[in-house]
Structure 1
């Protein structure tokens, strides 16, 4: 004998309607989130430079990878551009937060650094002025950053850090380490902040790698372990092309879980004096793209 299913009560019908409404809202929310993520990624890629400057004896490369799951995209950047005095500037950084707002703020920082660097040669002064400029915008976000100036005549690197993860260096004679110089607070927190500057003469051929914490840190992967991995790989590839060094450094992101976006920029330099190279070369050209004892203080 077949038993008839008892009629649903009004409360059951209400529950089904509520579940249906919530499901529709969740689907709509997911679609909006996906659209925001896609917009953030598009903004990020459009704002990052497609080419970096080079000079005779200095080759460059950079790479960027979005967050593996697409939820934490929009905060990392790198940049490189020539300065009026013939030197080159490079920066890398990470905006607090993610999504479209972080990608837009990243664009503001890049423009601020470029504008300030055209009138201030000292990397510490560049970061200090950019910090005050960003605070005047009052957007409520902050960013870590490393800013580097390459002098092709003195063949030196001058750098300053605003709360950013240290860089990694290695030379072709087998030496390596962290460029863990003193720094200041991230940009956008305290007005009038000062940023110490480290000066290094490039006496031995090698590479300096600047990166964001998405490369070296993950939910169950401490930043120290990530930096050790990058240092080992950069040392093993110090004599290779800058693109190869960048690829080796970025590969560490696969070990970290890659929950954040990640960026790497590589300066691959010859050792010695840069004056002859500048005289032979045609100036800067643009192409696609601890205190190290081997990089002697200038």
Structure 2
């Protein structure tokens, strides 16, 4: 709202994580899906099933409009949340941007996640004019 965009809607993502067990749930309001790194498999997997309605689109919204996806972060796993500005770039579709992000995230997984969120965010092709934010949660 502060930015004065004419669209009148916003996206959001919410993650809840039990730090002792690693169990998590993710809810989304039109936001790009969270991605779960499974250390035992050595790969990233989108967290599917959490695809709710954009905020500001419906006159009234209820919890049923925002289904949650559930999973478990095992030791060495990570959960990656990011804004669309990280995967958007002129001339590229979102799937290409996501593929690029996950390629960079693979390198971070191989060398260690410490400081990776900042590096991934800085490497976004959208430049300084788009929203770019990353939250990277790593279970050691």
Is TM-score (shorter-chain normalized) higher than 0.5?
yes
1:247-262 equivalence runs, <5 A: 247-253=118-124, 255-262=125-132
Aligned partners of 1:189 and 1:172: how far apart in 2?
38
Contact 2:80 2:135 (C-alpha < 8 Å) held by counterparts: yes
Q: Which runs of 5+ in 1 are unaligned?
A: 1-94, 103-139, 271-298
1:275: which partner in 2?
A: none
RMSD value, Cα: 2.3
Q: Residue 227 in 1 paired to residue 95 in 2?
A: no
Aligned-pair distance for 1:178? 1.9
Counterpart among 170, 191, 204 of residue 37 in structure 2? 170
Change (3 A) 1:153 1:170: closer
TM-score normalised by the chain length of structure 1: 0.41
Aligned partners of 2:128 and 2:97: how far apart in 1?
11
Aligned partners of 2:114 and 2:67: how far apart in 1?
27
Aligned-pair distance for 1:206? 2.1
1:69: which partner in 2?
A: none
2:79: which partner in 1?
A: 208
Number of residue pairs aligned between Structure 1 and Structure 2: 134
Contact 1:169 1:179 (C-alpha < 8 Å) held by counterparts: yes
1:269: which partner in 2?
A: 139
Aligned partners of 2:38 and 2:56: how far apart in 1?
35
2:113: which partner in 1?
A: 241
TM-score normalised by the chain length of structure 2: 0.80
